[in-house]
Amino acid sequence: MALNPEQHILDQGLLDAQLELWHNTFGYIKSMALKSALDLGVADAIHHHGGAATLTQIVATAKLHPSKISCLRRLMRVLAVSSVFGTKHSADAEAVYTLTPASRLLVGSANMVPVMNMLLHPILVSPFSDLGEWFQQELPDPDLFKLKHGNTFWEMADHDPSYNTLVNDGMVSDSRFLMDIAIRECGGVFQGIGSLVDVAGGHGGAAQAIAKAFPDVKCSVLDLEHVVAKAPSGTDVEYIAGDMFESVPPADAVFLKWIMHDWSDEDCIKILKNCKKAIPPKDAGGKVIIVDMVVGAGPQDLKHKETQLMFDLFIMFVNGVERDEQEWKKIIFEAGFTDYKITPVLGVRSIIEVYP
């Protein structure tokens, strides 16, 4: 049968379109493959063997049944094509799996496993199965998380100790990773400050990093009572129980890391107004330091853009929003501040200095 060239082009277009749908449909498989690698301790197993291991070696060290070795091969192929792990072949042609820059963040004492465990936990993932239903309901209530679980994210953290621990461990993990880079890349932001309060700072991962790098800065953390009650002792950081919607303790600078994206414009303006009351005027060194996303800022490659936009969709689970510069400018000025400076040095996130 003769091939019609025009029909062939149309057919290939249909198949390409189907591929695009399938590629997006099975995107969650990558997430769940990563989660299973965390659950099984695959990165630790490879690290245990010097950064490169065969399937047999991984099975011997990781938490899985030896009968699943063929299934593990299929899992590792997905994780390798996703660049979570690398792959090469030994002299006898057996596949050897290696750590990549991404999976190296999953091993060692300062690993990012706690924050990945939080983001991939079924409690946070499952609400998105109801995203279509949520879009049919009027804002603001219920948020996506409450629609699924009957409680808000904050209520669940307040009432479920194990979930509260999961969240706080995740935030400390992220702060430990990000703050070291922030201090190296943009340490001048914290110079000349005599005191700093980390608002909604959880267990103080960010504040402890700042205090260690700048011993002359008196650092404190403001958070809710149930969070402060579980804060670590024996640090240079003071923990203060309180509510950022009511007041913020006085300091030269207020620090807000990964907080503002959780809240509506109205709530953010209220938080910023309380921050403004807590700091001295600009000519006396007062400022608010925000670490959050500025959509469109930073590297312009597709992976950065896509990650920012996916995170914006993700944060809708608490009716939050990732803002572009104009959206940030709006809430900053409506809160009574006069100027701001955005420094996009933290990958998909930026440092925003806000001046009274």
> Could you give the CA distance from residue 287 to residue 275 in angstroms, rounded to a whole number?
9
The torsion angles phi and psi of 50, rounded to 5 degrees, stand at 85, 15
218-223 and 195-199: which strand pairing?
Answer: parallel
**What distances in angstroms separate CA 276 from CA 71, 333, 341, one per listed residue?**
56, 11, 16
Enter the DSSP assignment of 67. Answer: G
Q: Is 171 helix (H, G, I), strand (E, B) or coil?
A: helix
Amino acid present at 222: L
Ramachandran assignment for 234, one of left (phi > 0), alpha (psi -120 to 50 degrees), beta (any other):
left
Name the active-site residue from 48, 159, 261, 304: 261
Active site residue 89: no
Q: Give which of 273, 302, 166, 172 is closest to 232, Cα–Cα.
A: 172
Helix (H) or strand (E) holding 32: helix 27-40
In 3-state terms the chain splits into helix, strand, coil percentages (rounded to 5) of 55, 15, 30
342 close to 287: Cβ distance less than 8 angstroms: no
Place of tokens 């009650």: 229
334 close to 271: Cβ distance less than 8 angstroms: no
Helix (H) or strand (E) holding 266: helix 265-278
124 close to 117: Cβ distance less than 8 angstroms: no
Instruction: Give 123: exposed, middle or buried? Use CB within 10 Å, 0-12, 13-18, 19+.
Output: middle
Q: What residues form DSSP beta bridges with 85? A: 99
Tokens at 240, concatenated: 């203060």
Place of tokens 């700091």: 279
Tokens at 166, concatenated: 């999961």
Q: Which residues are catalytic?
A: 261
